Structure 1
Amino acid sequence: MSDRIELRVHHFIAEGRDESKSHVLLEIAQPAPNELSTHGHFFALAELSNATPKTIQMVRAWIEFAIEGYYKSVPTSIESHFETILNQLNMQSTLYLKQHAHESVHVAIAAVCHSNLYLAIHGQPAALLLYRKNDVWQWMDLVEQQEAGAQPAGQLFSNVVNGSMRVDDRFLLATPRVIEFFSADRLAKISDGKSIEEVNEHMGRILSGLSSEYSFAGVWLRHARSFDEAQEAAALGAATRGATQKADISMADLMNKTKSTATILAPPVLMIPKDKIITNILQLARRGIMSGAALTRTGIRYLISFVKKQRPAAITQAFAHRKPLALSLREKKSEFSARYRALPQRRKQVLLGASGVLLITLIAIGSIAFVNSNSSARQAETAQLELVNEKLRAADDLFTYQNEPAARAAFAEAETFFAALPRRARTSDDGETTAATLFEKRNKIFRIAAVSLSAVASTESLTATDVVAFNAQVAVLSGADLYSIKDGAKKIAEIPNARALYFDDSEKRFFVATSERSFTTISSDGKKISPTDIAWLPEDTQSAAVVFYAGRLYSFNAATHQLYRYESGGSGFANGSRWIKDGGKPTSVVALSVDTSLWLRTDAGAIMKYTAGKLQPYRVSGAVPDLEHADQLLTSASGRVYLLDTRNHRVLVTDRDGSLVKQYVFENDKTMTRIAVDKNETAVTGISSDGRVMRFNLAK
C-alpha cells in the first residue's frame, strides 16, 4: 500500500425548474499528470440569479479564461500565480458588474496544489472546511473570513483565502442556497460515520428531490492516501462477513445449549417438551420488545406459569382441596415455596439451572427482537417518508398542470402522513429535508408569501385612523388632518371632527365623514372644501356602510335590509333606488365596496357579492388556514379582491369568484387594522394597531 497523497473530488448538481431564476456553472479542471505537482487542481463554481443570457455567457467566459490562464505557464509560486489570474479577471469584469449591479452573481474559484488551498469568492457561495478534532467533526466557514474585509463595489474578487488541508480533511464549495438545506452543523453531523462519497450522494439526492425552482451545485475535496480501493473494500467486506458468521455461530451454539439443557429437566417437576420451550420463547420475542428489569420479571413470571401448568399430580392434589380463586397471592407463593423446599437438592439445582439458562435465552432473543423490531420500525419510517415525498411530488405536478384543488388535497395527505411519523423520524436528516420540502411546497401550492411591514418615511409623527387609495397614491386621516402618502406625508386639508375617509376615483374627490350622516367633500388637491347634503340618510345608517363610486352614493339601510343607490345632484345626493333585487335580505352590513358588482361585508366577517342586484356565489378557496372572518374588503379595477384577515396576520388576494391568487402573511405576527391598495396595485399601505403607517410591496 503506497503512502502517496492524492486529491479525491466528488461533485453534485441538482437542476432547478426555472433557469431564469437560478443558473449554476461548475467547472472541474483535470490537470495533466505533469501538471499535478506544478499546478494541482483548479475549480470554479457560480450561481446566477435573475441573470440575462449575456451575463451567463460572460461569467462562463471569465471561468474559461481563468482555467486557461492558470495552466498556461509553469508558476514559480502558486499563490502569486493565483493572484495574477484574479487581477486579470477583475480587469475584465469590473465595468460589466457595475453596469449590471441589479443581477445577483455568486462566483468562487479555488486551486489545490499539494496540501495548499487557495480560494477567492464573490457574493455568498458556501465554502466550508470540515476537520476532525477529538474524534468529532468540526467546521470552519471560509466565507466569513472573506467578509471580514469589505468587497469593493463592482470588483469580482478582492482577496484570497490561503490555507492547508490535512489528510482526510473535507472541503465543500457550493452555491449559496445549498446551506439553506445543509447547514455547517448538519454537514458535520452527517459526516459522522459516512464517507465523503456517501455524503455527496446524499446531498445530491435530497436536493434533486426538492424539485425546486432554483438550481444547486457543489464539489467536495478530500486529501487521502492512495491505495487500492478494491482491495480495501474486499478486506472490509471479508471482515464484515466474518463478524456476521461468528455472530450466527454464537447464536446457534446458544440455542443448541438451550435445547440440550431442556432435555435434562426432571419430568416430575417440569414436564414440558423441549420443542415447546423454544416455540414459546420465540412467541414471546415476537409478541413484544422487552429489556432490562422488565424482561427479567416477565421471564420469571413466564417460567413460573410453565411450572404451574405442568405441575405433577402431587402438587395438583395438594391444591385441590382449596378453592383456587379464593387463594391469595401470598398463599399461592407460600404453598409453591413449601413444595419447592420439599424437592430433592438435585431437583432444585436442575430447576435453578434451567431457569438461569431460560432467562439468558430470553434476554438474548429479546435483545435480537428489539434490534430487529427497531430496524423494522426505521424501515417503516423511511418508507413513510418516501411516501410523503411522493405525495409532495404529485402535488407539485398537479399544481404545475393547474389542478390546484387536487394539488392541495395531495399536499394535505403528505402533511398528514408526515405529522403521523414519530419525532425521531421527523428530526432525522431525511425528516428535516422532507420538512423543508413541505414548507417550500406549502408556500407554493397555497401561494403564500411572507412579507415584512415597513414604516413609510416621514410618517412617524402621524397617528392614522383611516386610509384610502386615490390616484396612484394613498391618503390617511390623522386626527383632523388629511395627508397624502407617497414617499412621505403631505398635508392636504384639515377637517374638524373627521371620522372616516372615502374617495370617489371617477370624481377625483374625497368624502370625509364628520358624523354618522354628515360629510365634507374635498378635492384631491385640497383646494375645494364643501359640505355635502346627506341629511336624509336614515338614523340607523352607519357611516362605514356607505361607499362613493362613479359619482353615486351607495348605502345600506339596516331597517329595510336593503341597499340603495343615490345619484349626485346639487350639493348632495338624491333619488335613491333599491339595488338588491334577488338574494335575500342581508343583515348587519358594516362595509361596502363597488366595482362592476357591489360587495358587502357583515359584522360576522362574511362576504356577499351582488351583480345587477342579484346575489352571486363568492367563497374564498385555497387559503390556509380557511378564511373565517374578513376584517376589511377592497376591490380593484383589475378584478382582484383584497381581504384583510387580522386574526391570521395576512392579506388574501382572490379573483372575483374567490379563487386564491396570493396570501401575504405578515412576519413576526404583525398586522394592520386598515389597508388601501394603490391604483397600480404595486403596494399595500395600512395602519398598524398603534396608528403607524406601514407598507409592503405586492408581487408582480
Structure 2
Amino acid sequence: MDRILRLNEFFVEGGKQHISHVLLHISEPTTPEEIAKGYFFAVCEINNAEPKYFTKIKDLIDRAGNDYYETADANDKNALELVLEKLNQEALTLVDTGLEIHCIIGAIRQPEITFTYYGKPQVLVFYKNHQGVYQSIDLVEANSDNKDAPTQLFSHIIQGKISSNDFLFAGTPHIGEYFSTDRLQKIITSRPAVQSAQHIERVLSEIKNGHSFGGLIIHIDRADSGPIPIRKAPVVKGASSKSLHSLFNREQSTANTLSPSILPRLKTLFGRNSNTPETPVAVATKTYQPAEINASHISHRDTGHAGATKELAFYQLKSVLAALFRAIIFTGKTIALILVVLYGIIYSAFLNSVLLVFAITNYQNRRQHILETWRKQWHSNKENIRRLPTITKVLFFAAILAAGGIAVSIAAIKYRQTQAAHDKQFKTVVQQIKNKKDAMESALIYKDDQAAQTEFVSAEELFGRLECLSKEEKATCAELQNQFDEFDIKIRKITITEPELLFEWKNGIELTNVVKVNTKLISFSANTSTLFIFDLLSREEKIIASGAHLGFVKANVPKENDYALFNTSLNNFFKFDPADSTIKPVNVKFSNEQTSIADFLIYNRRLYTLDTLNNQVYKHDGVKNGFEQGKEWIKDGTLVKDGQELTIDGDMYILKNSGLITKFTAGISQPFSMVSLIQSVGKNASLWTYTDLQYLYILDPDNKRLIILEKDGRIKQQLVSEMITRPTGFAIDPTNNIAYILDNNKLLKIILPQ
C-alpha cells in the first residue's frame, strides 16, 4: 500500500536567545536519487550560550544535510553514519567548550528512520497495541545507560521502522516541563498530526518565559504489517556499541506482543553476544512516495544538475508551445463555427422580421403571399419530420432527453461541488473562529488584554465571512454570535448600571455641562449666562443670573472645593462662591493677544489653560484679583492644537479630538495608549482625574458610556445604561465614589464600582 510521510513542525521563539535558542532543519530532496535517501532533519536546543555558537551549530547542520545527500552508502555504513563521523570531527571544539546542547539528527527513508542524539532531548514513540490502546516508549530514557563519548557529539545511532499507527515525537527538553508524556500521547494520538503540532505550538507560545521550543511530529498514513526492527549501531570505532537491549528487555513481556510496528525483533537482532559482529539489516527495494511537510524551517535542495535542468526546461517549453499551437487552432475553428452559426441565426431573424413587418403592414399586398410561404414551410417541416424513420425519431428524442439529463447532471454536480466547497469553507472558518476563541480565553486568563482584543477583532472579521445558509449553519452562527456577545462584554469590560434620576431641568434651555462644588451641582450652557443649581442636601433647585454677556463654555473646581471658575467663548472668566451663591468676574492675563482656550484646570491653586490657537499650555500663578500672565508649560513642542480636554494629577493628560490621550511629565510628552479599547473614544468627550486618584474618567457622548481607565492605559470598566442617551457633561465625587452625569437636561447619579 502507498505510504505518505507527514512531517509536522512546531516552533516557538522565546525572545531571549542568551537563555535558550532552538534550531530546526528539514531538507526536502528533489531528484529521484535524493528522494530514495529520504528526508534529513535536525532539532537542536542550545542553552546559555553566545550567539556565535548558534551560527556555528547551524552551519554544521546545514553542511551535514548537504553531505548526507552527496555521500553514498558504504558496505558497512550508511550515509548518515559517514556524515556523523565527519560532523564529530568538525564539532570537536564544541564539546571542549562545555556547551549545554540537546540535539537530534536523523533521516527518514519510508518507513525506516535513523537518528542520533546528544544531551537529553525528547524522543518518544506512541504505538497502538493489539487491543487498540496507545502506549509510549521514551527512547532517550531507555538508552540512558549508553553514555555520550566525551570527545564526540554523536557516538551512537538508533534505527527502526514506524507504521501508520505510530507517531514519533522529537522535541527540545524544556517541552517536558509543560507537557507530560501522557498528555503528549493524548494530544498526538487523538487528532491529525498537523493539528497536534498547532495545538502544542499555541500552548507553548503562551508561556513567555524566555525559553524557545521546537520539535517534529512524524507519522506515516499507511504502512505494511509485520515485525518492525530497531537496531543501534556505532558511528565510529570505539564509540558506544551497546544496543537498545535494556529498553526492549523491559518491554519484552508486554509490548512485544501488543504492537509489531516499532518494537524490535529481539531474538534475531539483539539476542546476540555483544562481541558478535553486527550484520546490517537488509532493506527491500521499494518505491518512495512523496511527503507532506508542514514546516517553516524547510531547506530545498539545490541539485546543481544544470544540463538536466536545461534539457527538462527545453522539453517543457516545446510541449507548452505545441499545446499552445493546438489550442490556437482549436480556438480559431470554434470561433469560425460560432460566427457562421451566429450569422445564420441573425440573417434568419432579420429576414423573418422584415417579412413580419411586411405581413403586418400588407406592404405591396404581399401579406397573403408571406403567410402562404410560412404555411408551406411549416407544412414541409412537419412532413419531413413525419417521413423520418421511427428509429431516427426515437434516437432524436433520446438525444434530447440525454442532453437534458446531462445538463441536469452537470447542474447537479456543479451544485454539489459548490455546496461541498461551501461546507468545507464554512467548517474551516468555524474552526478558525473556535481557535481564536480558545486564544481569547487563554489571553483573558493571563490578563493579556491586548492579545485578547487582537484575537477578538480577528475572530469578528472571520465571522463576517461566514455564509449561514442551511438551518444547521444558521444555528451555528447564532451560537457563535452569542459567544461573541459574551466575549465582547468580557473584553471590553462593560458593566450595565442603573442610574438614579436626581432632577430634570424643564426650563426650555438646553444645558450642556455640569460641575460640582461643595454640595451643589451647577448646570450651565454656552447659550445662556444663567447658572442652574441643584443642592444635593436640600434637593432644591436655584437659578442665578451671572450678568455675563455670553454663556459659559467650561468650568472647574479646585481640590479645596471652595469655589468654581467658569469661562466664556471670549476667554472671560467668572468665579462662583458657593457660600453666598455669588458670581464675579476675575482677571486672567495672557501673553498673546489672540488666544483660544479649549479647556482649563485649577491645580495647587494655579490655573492651567490649554490654548489651541498657539499650541501651548500656560501656567498662571494666583494673585488677589485672579491669575497673573501665564508661562509656557509645554517644553518639547508637542502638537496640542487638536486638544479639547485637560486634566492633571501631577502628570498632565490632554484628550484630543481624535479620542487619543497625550501624557506630559514636567512639560515633556510621554508614551501613552489606551489598551483593549476596541471602540475608540468619539468627539466631544470629557476627561477628569486628580492627585491620589487611581483612575482616569472619560465621558464618551458619541458611544453613550463612562470609561474608567487605569493610568497605565488599561481599561478598568465601561459603564453603560439605557438611561444614558445624550450625555453632555459629568462630575466625579471621588470621596463618595459617585459620578453625576448631565443627560438631556437630566441629572443622573451613578454609584461607581469599587
TM-score when normalising by structure 2: 0.43
Larger radius of gyration: 2
TM-score for both structures, normalised by structure 1:
0.46
